[in-house]
Amino acid sequence: MALISDLFFEARAAAQNLLEYAVGPHVRLGVTGLSRAGKTVFITALIEHLTKAAARGAQRNALPVFRVRAEGRLSAGSLEPQPDDAVPRFAYEEHAAALSGGSSGPEGRHWPQSTRRISELRLRLDFESRGGFRPGPQSLAIDIVDYPGEWLLDLPLLNKSFAQWSRETFIASATAARAPLSTKWREFAGASTPIAKASEEDARRAAELFTQYLRACRADEYSFSSLPPGRFLMPGDLEGSPALTFAPLAVDEGAVYAPDSLAGMMERRFEAYKTHVIRPFFQDHFARLDRQIVLVDALSALNAGPAAIRDLEVAITDVLTAFRVGRGGFLMNLFRPRIDKILFAATKADHLHHTSHDRLEAILRLITARAIARVETIGAEVDVIALAAVRATREAKVNGFGQAPMEAVIGTPLDQERIGDEVFDGKSEAAIFPGELPRDPQAILLGEPLAIMANEIDYRFVRFRPPPPRRAPDGTLLPPPHIRMDRALQYLLGDKLT
């Protein structure tokens, strides 16, 4: 078995090398994160910067930390035809037009449609190489692969039986934080008899209630992260498919159930999900990535409280497990990831004043370090950053009533956003006092109330519109303002562009 799998990997590696030869130097960059973490916005902004930076020549450089650009060696960035016929193209033009307002003008600007399935796009960067064996003009093909983080969290299921998964899911759903959200499903599941004759109607109802529970856990006020199976929340092409018509059941571990019983049917579907959904994703897509950025909406978890933060740590541990397994773990025969650098990025840092950006980074660093300690070896370099792919706010000091001036962020809240009794119309700007994150990241893990939550008025969920688009003197649209995107680019791609 090991020999067959080795041959398989060798054959695939040879095919990859051939491909590399055909396209030249080449890197596959995975962009993932749970729903609403900011993948679509990040990729759109990244493409805007990489395709427009070179054309800006010596004009103001928006990416000072991205060395190839800062050193004036980036000569062109262009979109290339889609590399994989079986994967949809990332709808960059549509998303960029949403951010700027497109043909409806700046007032029509809005956030793009979020990621719901896997998509890809190939970029080519032309640059002047200074180091290595081949100084002179070079080009690098970058395949950006956008996929839901929910799918990554499915990996641990491969190593679980239906009974074990059921047991663990019931236990998690009965914890204090989740119990009120899972009552309906648990009541239904409790009344189901595993040995009863299989009924499609019962399976459908159980799957429906189970999915409703998982969805409720993702709502802003709870913001739980670790909720497999991933396709129940992000079905992609499986929307409405019978492959998702199963749910945990109170079955005995080790017991054998008749094929036509409810338990027999649920178990079969669970196994089919592993074989036909999880495995192909890891083999066909995940195993081919070279670099990975994992976007994390840490602010939502911080806002939701200690249970969500603990859950985020579990999710990050599961994500790291996916990077480790192929390197000698239990799933070695399934795939061998070749990812050598992973960046965990806390997104939407523009919701905070810059004095809190490093603190946000420190919190994510602490959570990630704890996760790394749990999975031990990963076999890839890991770093952490706080960023905003699109900076929707600017900073100002605002005079308080008789108090010292306070640090605020100013932006245009989305239509119908509220702060206390005030409802915004999506047109006027507002100054928001986001509060401060604690200096010591440990405070978060100890569950101390956050200054960010301690304001009398709840500023936590104010969401802003994208910033008005800016144009260069020659009329061309500029990439959106950002926070630390250049640092992310340098970490992920810098060494390929020396």
| CB of 205 or CB of 463, closer to ligand GDP | 463
Q: Which stretch binds ligand GDP (CB under 6 A): 6-14, 39-47, 80-88, 361-369?
A: 39-47
Q: Which stretch binds ligand GDP (CB under 6 A): 17-25, 38-46, 62-70, 449-457?
A: 38-46
| CB of 370 or CB of 394, closer to ligand GDP | 394
**Total number of residues that touch ligand GDP (CB under 6 A):** 20
Q: Does 464 bind ligand GDP (CB under 6 A)?
A: yes
Among 155, 302, 345, 388, binds ligand GDP (CB under 6 A): 388
For the CB of residue 437, give the shortest distance to ligand GDP in the complex, in Å: 16
**Per-residue x/- mask for ligand GDP, residues 339 to 378, rule CB under 6 A?**
--------xx-x----------------------------
| CB of 267 or CB of 417, closer to ligand GDP | 417
| CB of 148 or CB of 194, closer to ligand GDP | 148
Q: Which stretch binds ligand GDP (CB under 6 A): 14-22, 201-209, 389-397, 488-496?
A: 389-397
Q: How far apart are alpha carbons 419 and 462 in whole angstroms? A: 7
Among 92, 111, 246, 282, binds ligand GDP (CB under 6 A): 111
Q: Does 114 bind ligand GDP (CB under 6 A)?
A: yes
Residue that has been written with the tokens 């093909």 in this structure:
141
For the CB of residue 393, give the shortest distance to ligand GDP in the complex, in Å: 7
| CB of 52 or CB of 204, closer to ligand GDP | 52
Query: Do residues 381 and 342 lie in contact, with contact meaning Cβ atoms separated by under 8 Å?
Result: yes
For the CB of residue 52, give the shortest distance to ligand GDP in the complex, in Å: 18
Among 63, 390, 450, 493, binds ligand GDP (CB under 6 A): 390
Q: Does 434 bind ligand GDP (CB under 6 A)?
A: no
For the CB of residue 92, give the shortest distance to ligand GDP in the complex, in Å: 13
SS (H, E, C) the chain: CHHHHHHHHHHHHHHHHHHHHHHCCEEEEEEEECCCCCHHHHHHHHHHHHHHCHHHCCCCCCCCCCHHHHCCCEEEEEEECCCCCCCCECCHHHHHHHHHCHHHCHHHCCCCCCCCCCEEEEEEEEEEECCCCCCEEEEEEEEEEECCHHHHCCHHHHHCCHHHHHHHHHHHHCCCCCHHHHHHHHHHHHHCCCCCECCHHHHHHHHHHHHHHHHHHHCCCCCCCCCCCHHHHCCHHHCCCHHHCCCCCCCCCCCCCCCCEHHHHHHHHHHHHHHHHHHHHHHHCHHHCCEEEEEECHHHHHHHCHHHHHHHHHHHHHHHHHHHHCCCCCCCCCCCCCCCEEEEEECCHHHCCHHHHHHHHHHHHHHHHHHHHHHCCCCCEEEEEECECCCCCEEEEECCCCCCCEEEEEECECCCCEECCEECCCCCCEEECCCCCCCCCHHHHCCCCCHHHCCCCCCCCCCECCCCCCECCCCCECCCCCECHHHHHHHHHHHHHC
| CB of 249 or CB of 298, closer to ligand GDP | 298
**Per-residue x/- mask for ligand GDP, residues 135 to 174, rule CB under 6 A?**
----------------------------------------
For the CB of residue 398, give the shortest distance to ligand GDP in the complex, in Å: 19
Q: How far apart are alpha carbons 137 and 75 in whole angstroms? A: 9
Structure tokens of 471? Answer: 């144009």
Among 26, 36, 231, 460, binds ligand GDP (CB under 6 A): 36
Among 26, 28, 30, 38, binds ligand GDP (CB under 6 A): 38
Q: Does 31 bind ligand GDP (CB under 6 A)?
A: no
Q: Which stretch binds ligand GDP (CB under 6 A): 100-108, 169-177, 304-312, 385-393?
A: 385-393
Q: How far apart are alpha carbons 497 and 128 in whole angstroms? A: 8
Residue that has been written with the tokens 């995940």 in this structure:
286
Enumerate residues 296-335 that contact ligand GDP by CB under 6 A.
Answer: none
Among 342, 392, 408, 444, binds ligand GDP (CB under 6 A): 392
Q: Does 40 bind ligand GDP (CB under 6 A)?
A: yes
| CB of 354 or CB of 370, closer to ligand GDP | 354
Among 168, 463, 477, 495, binds ligand GDP (CB under 6 A): 463
Q: Does the bond joining 235 to the residue before it have cis omega, within 30 degrees of 0?
A: no
Binding site for ligand GDP (CB under 6 A): 33, 35-41, 111, 114-115, 347-348, 350, 388-390, 392, 463-464
